[in-house]
Each structure stands twice: as structure tokens, then as C-alpha cells.
Amino acid sequence: MNNKYKFSYPVLIAALGIGIGALSACSSHPHEAPKDDKFQVTDTLLNSLLVDTVKAGNADALISLSGKITADDSKMAKIFPMVSGITQNVRVQMGDVVHKGQVLATMKSVEMAGFSKDVISADADIRNAKRNLQVAQDLYKSGLASEKDVEAARSDYQKAQAESNRSRTVLNINKGNAGGYEVISPISGTVIEKNVTSNSEVRADNNQNMFTVADLSTVWAMINIYESDIASIKTGDEVKITTLSYPDKVFTGRIDKVYSTIDPDNKVMQARVVINNAGNLLKPEMFASVQVQSQSGETLPKVNTRTLVFDNDRYYVVVIDGKAHARIQPVTIAKKADEYAYISSGLKPGDRVVASRQVFLYESLKD
């Protein structure tokens, strides 16, 4: 044998052994399928997740508006003088609490002096008429006067009584006496407007009131509604109000009137909310931030916003179908209110959506 081939047999035998081993391995697993590494939701994982059920809800909208606190017109009195004169003593200031019948100011008035004179004259006339009637009756009994004379005296007496009553009524209506004219509060409340000081000249024909007194146990919030929101605001809508003075306190109420005219200057329509004002915290002219819970009447599927996943400019949820089967579902949001999202497409009431670790599941199912 040639020396150049003396090492070829061992190499050949080794190669044959490797080939036989490879064939044996192939023949032992001829039909093994490739392993499936796709993520699946197991019963164990599902039991550890928080799952919400989609419900049908009224798709109310939360509208932010501005407004102003005003006094309740039905519990407010603007006080004008009944006579002209000069104020002597103004006894109250802005913000003072007053009671019904309390004197707010006094005035010197020529007209009041005339009313007092009329009362005195009427009292004198009634005394004379009474005495004349008595004389006429005595003469009639003596045969020295006729029945006609008695009736004439009785008529004069009745006229004197009527004039006395009139003059006293005028004096009482003008809330005064011989000492002068008294400006009296007709209701109990707070002085929210004052337009006079002592020694001011006041005329009865002036269109400016002297005082305004308002009961602030209830107040109005006058809301400004822009044209774009008019169709969404209705009587009965729930309202939440905050003010700069009490930023952490929320005052609640409902719209009880929507005015049908638009302010030509501000281009807004107004709505009114009656608010119980315990402790008189709210004051007229306060600025108010208003949130109106508008009732659209539209019913849509709603989910808690915690179930949403935002990716690639879209919203998604992870829906559980049957037992331990999860899928990604794109959804379209019609509107959000508080902690809920109202869905216009993608879900229906009764669907089950994952409300915990949904981002992890979304990323796992997306791959």
C-alpha cells in the first residue's frame, strides 16, 4: 500500500460514524413541529387581573363656563324716598345686617311737615264737627232744629272722620312723624347698596334708590352661555360652582331658568341657578367658575378611563373573550366626563375589558 494513504482509513471511519449518527437523529424525530412562542393569557394570569364590564351610560358632557353671584330678586328690596328732603342721620353702612322695620336714615322734609299739619287740622275739624252734631241733635229734640239740620251736621262729622283717617294714612305710608321722615327697611337682610350720606339732598322723583337690602340666605349665580354651548344647556342641568374666595369649596345647584335673549355686547345668553347660601359665604358680584353637567340624552357604552391604552394616535382596550382569551380592540371616544370615557365605536355594553396591567398585556399581544 502506498504510504500517502496510510492515515485515510481512520478519517473515513470517523466521517462514516458522524453521518450515521446524523441519520439516526433525523430518523428519531421525523415530525417535530417548531415551538410556538406567541403570548397567551392563562387562567392564572386572568385571575390576577382587574376586569371591568362595559355599561351603557348617558353621555353627559361637562361644560366649563363663567358667571357672577347676584342677590335673589325675590328677596331684595330697593328703597326709594316717598318725599323730598335732606338726610340728617344715616345709621347703616354697606354690609350691615338689618331687621324688618329698622330705621336706616332720617330726613328733614317740608312735605312731611305738611302731612303732620294735615293730621293736626283733621283732628281739630273732627272735634268741631262732633260738637256741631251734638248741638244739632239737642236743638232737634227741643224743636228748634229740623231733621235736615241734624243730617247735615252728621254728614260734616263723617267727612271730618274720613279726612282724619286719610291724613293719618298718608303720614303712616310715608313712615314719618312730626319729627321728620324715617327711611325704614321693609325686610330683614344685608345692606348691599348705599347711595346717600348725611346732609344729602334727596328728591322723591330721583330714579336712584337710597338703599338696597337683600336676604342672602339664597343667592343667584348668573351663568354666561356662549353661542356654541346654547344647545347643550337645559333647565335642570346640575351645576358645580367655585369662587376665588373659597377655591376648595364647591357650591351645587341646578339651572332653574334659561333666558332666551342674547346680550348684544357680550354675545352670551344667561342662565340662573338658585344656591342655598349657608353662612352668607357668597356675596353679590363675586366671580364664579361654573361647571355644567349637560344632559345630552345620548346613550353610549362607557368604560373607566383607566382601561384605555393610547398608542399610535389611537385608543385601545384589551378585551377578554370567553375564558382566558384576550385581544386588542381599537375604540373611538365620543367624550370624557369625570373618570369615564364614552365609546362611539369598538365596544358594546356587556364586553369585558382589562383594567389593570393593560399596558403590559397590550404590548405582549401586539408583538
Could you tell me if 189 and 216 are in contact, meaning their C-beta atoms sit under 8 angstroms apart?
yes
Sign, CA torsion 213/216/217/220 = positive
Let me know if residue 8 belongs to a domain.
Answer: no
In a domain, 13, yes or no: no
- Give a yes or no: residue 14 inside a domain: no
The number of domains in the chain is 3
Give the span between the Cα atoms of 272 and 137, in whole angstroms. 69
The CATH number linked to 250 is: 2.40.30.170
- The H or E element that residue 343 is part of is strand 340-345
In which residue ranges of the chain is pLDDT below 70? Answer: 1-41, 59-61, 175-179, 295-297, 323-324, 367
Same domain, 198 and 107: yes
State residue 176's pLDDT score: 60
Domain harbouring 152, CATH code: 1.10.287.470
Residue 342: DSSP 8-state: E
Looking at the domain assignment, is residue 197 inside a domain?
yes
The last residue of a domain, from among 294, 309, 344: 294
Largest CA distance in the chain: 196
What is the tens place of the pLDDT at every residue in 322-331?
766 888 999 9
Supply the range of the domain harboring residue 316: 47-59+299-366
Residue 248 lies in a domain: yes
Position 6 in a domain = no
Asked if 295 and 234 touch (Cβ cutoff 8 Å), the reply is yes
In sequence order, what are the residues at sequence separation of 6 or more whose Cβ sits closer than 8 angstroms to the Cβ of residue 345? 331, 332
Q: DSSP character for 54?
A: P
State residue 10's pLDDT score. Answer: 46
pLDDT at position 293:
79
Domain final residue pick, 192, 208, 224: 208
Indicate whether 272 and 319 sit together in one domain: no
Cell of 89: 342721620
- Shared-domain flag, residues 101 and 159: yes
Query: Is 281 found in the same domain as 321?
Result: no
pLDDT at residue 342, as a whole number = 86
Same structural domain, 89 and 179: yes
Q: How far is CA 176 from CA 92, 119, 123, 162, 170, in A?
A: 18, 12, 17, 20, 9
Do 195 and 106 lie in one domain? The reply is yes
- Asked whether residue 137 falls in the same domain as residue 223, the answer is no
CATH number of the domain at 329, please: 2.40.420.20
* Cα dihedral 266, 270, 273, 279 in deg (nearest 10): 30
Residues 184 and 236 in one domain: no
Residues 237 and 184 in one domain: no
Is residue 103 located within the same domain as residue 203?
yes
Say whether both 339 and 315 belong to one domain: yes
Among 178, 208, 238, the domain-final residue is 208
- Predicted confidence at residue 207, as pLDDT, reads 84
**239 with 357, same domain?**
no
Whether residue 2 lies inside any domain: the answer is no
Is 41 within the bounds of a domain? no
